[in-house]
Amino acid sequence: MSQAARAEAMADAFVRRLEARDLTVGIVGLGYVGVPLAEGFLAKGLRVVGYEPDAAKVAALAAGESYISHIDPVRVKLMAASGLFQPTTDPSSLAYADAILLCVPTPLDAHREPDLSFVEAATRTVAEHLRPGQLVALESTTYPGTSAEIVRPILEDVSGLASGVDFALAYSPEREDPGNIDFGATSTPKIVGADTAPERRMASALYGALTQVVEVADLKTAEAAKLTENIFRLVNIALVNELKVVFESLDIDIWQVIDAARTKPFGYMPFYPGPGLGGHCIGIDPFYLTWKARAHGEPTRFIELAGDVVTAMPARVVEATARALSDISGKAVNGARVLVVGLAYKKNVDDLRESPAIHVIRLLRERGAEVAYHDPFIPAAPDLAEHPEIAGMTSAAWAALSDYDAAVICTDHDGVDYAALAAAVPVVVDTRNALARAGVAAANARKA
């Protein structure tokens, strides 16, 4: 049998098993991407093996407990009770999966270059248990070429199998938005790319059982599509933050400007300013492309400029806090007691990766302030080697608001009593327009 015929036969067998719902999906990494994926496939009647080296997470999922704040424990209980879900710390279980999806982090290193160590380690783990007929799909955001240049060689070298003939390789980027109740794993279209038609057919069939599929020609096009989504957001967030600074100098409220501009039913999409950029995607992913572009001798001035603009925002927030303290209460930052409201990078989640609030805390302390934080989603800050400034901090009691000279709203969580905040704290600096949206008008508040 020719290689082309073997590839078609592999795809035929995979699709038949999927249509019969006699197929097991393996997921590597049970975090904010992997758990919703597992939930989605379980809901479609497919078996799921979830490999996660963290034994505490595996035990929690097996007991029907959620360790992700925006995923309701009821959902995890239903997953555990389905009889189709096997969370495990044993990587050999992946050999029983027909499709294996890699959902692991892709951070930047200390030099702002791609750190693919998690992808490489996960790929080697999969390769050690790879068997003919399996589909392997990378979901982690990365630069164009990763699947073909990093993932495929590891899989082939370790397993001795040939991609596109013995097993299929695809790329389908995660599109999770933690805390978004409108769009999730089964309601957000999935981009699917693979380098051959049989591999695309397998990947599209799998993800098509979950949600709408958008096919692209190859692996690198799918990788580029995900980066494009996040670069678009980075550039527009940087633009609106720059406009905020300019309009502030003209005594114009950027929030009112956006509210007016967004009434145009075409040609405009609202983006909003804030204290900086945070999270697992926007502040990291675009720089995967800048790194790859440099390797090909191409500049990415627009992306890097946008990064510079948003990186400067925490310092502007601290400067605005200093001005507000001086103007309203005649105090200096040095020696002031400041409460940072919201430690998470976005509202209604417990995720503080790359959170600008951390940088605001550091900069306030560097200027001599005594800083505490309040966040109902993060009762205690974890010890992070890269952020020693928050080590040992716990969420301050809301009842002690009057102890503070100033408050800086960095994250606009729902359920926070912003009226009480403005009434109790002499100076409030609002980076999210939270007071206005809550209907609170306070003479002691300043937007930043």
CA 265 to chain centre: 29
Cβ burial of 312 (10 Å; 0-12, 13-18, 19+) is middle
* Helix (H) or strand (E) run with residue 322 in it: helix 313-324
Q: Would you tell me how many other CB atoms lie within 10 Å of the CB of residue 253? A: 14
Residue 272's CB is within 10 A of a number of other CB atoms, namely 14
Which DSSP string corresponds to 254-302? HHHHHHHHTTSSSS-------S---SSSTTTTHHHHHHHHHHTT---HH
Which residues are within 8 A (CB) of 16 and not within 5 positions of it... i.e. 6 or more apart? Answer: none
Count the residues in the chain: 448
Within 10 Å of residue 172's Cβ, how many Cβ atoms?
Answer: 24
Alpha carbons 339 and 422: distance in angstroms, whole number? 12
Helices 313-324 & 301-311, crossing angle to 10 degrees?
30
Half-sphere exposure of 154 (CA within 13 A, CB side): 19
Strand ranges for 150-212 from DSSP E: 168-171, 190-193
Cross-strand bridge partners of residue 114? 108
Please name the residues in contact with 294: beta carbons below 8 A apart, sequence gap of 6 or more.
300
281 is an active site residue: yes
Q: Do β-strands 370-374 and 24-28 pair in parallel, antiparallel, or remain unpaired?
A: unpaired
Measuring CA to CA, how many Å separate 171 from each of 139, 155, 214?
6, 14, 12
Return the H-helix or E-strand segment holding 38.
helix 34-43
CA–CA dist 203, 205 (Å, integer) = 5
Q: Which of 11, 97, 192, 281 is catalytic?
A: 281
> Could you give the 3-state DSSP secondary structure of residue 205?
helix
User: Are the CB atoms for 161 and 132 separated by under 8 Å?
Assistant: yes
Q: In angstroms, rounded to a whole number, what is the distance separating the alpha carbons of residues 424 and 421?
A: 5
Distance CA 208, CA 193 (A): 13
Residue with structure tokens 């800050």? 381
Cα(343)–Cα(379) distance, integer angstroms: 10
By annotation, the residues acting in catalysis are 281
